[in-house]
Structure 1
Amino acid sequence: MIVDTAAGVLGGVLLLRFWMQLIRVRPPASVGQFTYTLSDWLVLPLRRVVPGMRGYDWASLIGAFLVVLAASSVLLLMGASGQAVVLYALYRFLTWIVYGFMGLLIIEVIFSWINPHAPLAPFVHALNEPLLRPLRRVIPPLGGLDITVLVAFILLQIALYILRQIF
């Protein structure tokens, strides 16, 4: 449980770092310092081997997968095959991504209800905008109420169901 929790936090930070750099969002100082301090020990050495290309920070993404692979390798101790461990790690990696997007959507909803002018609200909104923009083109506001966050959340739930069925 401790290994899984530590891997989840580190993997989430690495995925956040990848997403921030992919969509070119500058984090607030506190979030940036936390993210870079926690992940530089893994990302900087990986960048020597896997440089970034076309705006993608591949080292962060590969680092997140390596973290989930290391956490999943506990199954090797229980007698699982190497192929099963890699498939399980891929499944967990993809579910981490989906749950990360779901968490960002929940945080945005909480900000919109409690304090839309909170210091972190624009940052969270910018992280969610690439997910919500295509939906906002298709789904108009209903009576002044934007339901695209709900639709995105439902689509992410469907993605989780499909991942469970595939793996």
Structure 2
Amino acid sequence: MSNGATFLVQTIFDLFIMAVILRLWMQLARVDYFNPFSQFIVKITSPVLNPLRRVFPTLGRFDIAAAFLATALAALKIFVIVQMQVGAFPYSVLNLFMASIQSVLIITLQLMFWILIIRAILSWFSQGRNPIEFVFAQLTEPMLAPIRRIIPPIGGLDLSVLVLIILVQFVRISIMGAG
């Protein structure tokens, strides 16, 4: 199969997995539910998540249905891509499960990276009036606050975002190397 088809399949799966991960992350961070960006994520994930919630309970703020859906979609993505490239699936179910967990972790870290980059760029222009920036701030502040306690802003420059980006990339590269 062509590289273009593989790219298209991977991109479509990854975008929806990112939406599911965002939904889970927004619930954990208690992001403003009525924000237009939050509503978009809820509306595109609800048709698949709502039936799964009848099977998988929620533990506190952790949405097991969303975690299951992200992992299942990653497994399906891997299966489809291997089928397209090889024509048969040479891996065990355990290998597929482990690869799907790794894929979800890598996608989560990529999502964190891009949210931090976009948040930093938006902070230069929008002065906090953008609804997406507000959601991104709610998502990332719990991770940035501890870094700010260790490395306070220097001369008005907040280095916590840079430190978190470096940590996220380090973990992502480490996970990718382990696979």
* TM score, norm. by length of structure 2: 0.86
Aligned to 1:52: 58
CA distance in 1, matches of 2:51, 2:30: 22
Distance 2:57 2:38 in 1: 21
Aligned length: 167
Question: Greater CA deviation, 155-164 or 82-91?
Answer: 82-91
Q: Tell me, what secondary structure is at the counterpart of 2:61?
A: coil
Counterpart in 1 of 2:91?
81
Amino acid at match of 2:58: G
The answer as to 2:140 corresponding to 1:134 is: no
1:124 matched residue in structure 2: 136
Deviation at 1:164, TM superposition (A): 2.0
Identity among equivalent positions (%) equals 29
Aligned to 1:152: 164
Q: Which residue of 2 aligns with 1:62?
A: 68
2:106 paired residue among 85, 88, 95: 95
- Stretches of structure 2 lacking an aligned partner (at least 5 in a row): 1-6
Cα distance between partner residues in 2 of 1:42 and 1:22: 19
Return closer, same or farther for 1:141/1:14 CA change in 2, 3 Å cut-off: same
Q: 1:76 to 1:8 in 2, by over 3 A?
A: closer
Conserved 8 A contact 2:74-2:103: yes
* Of 127-136 and 76-85, the range deviating more from structure 2: 76-85
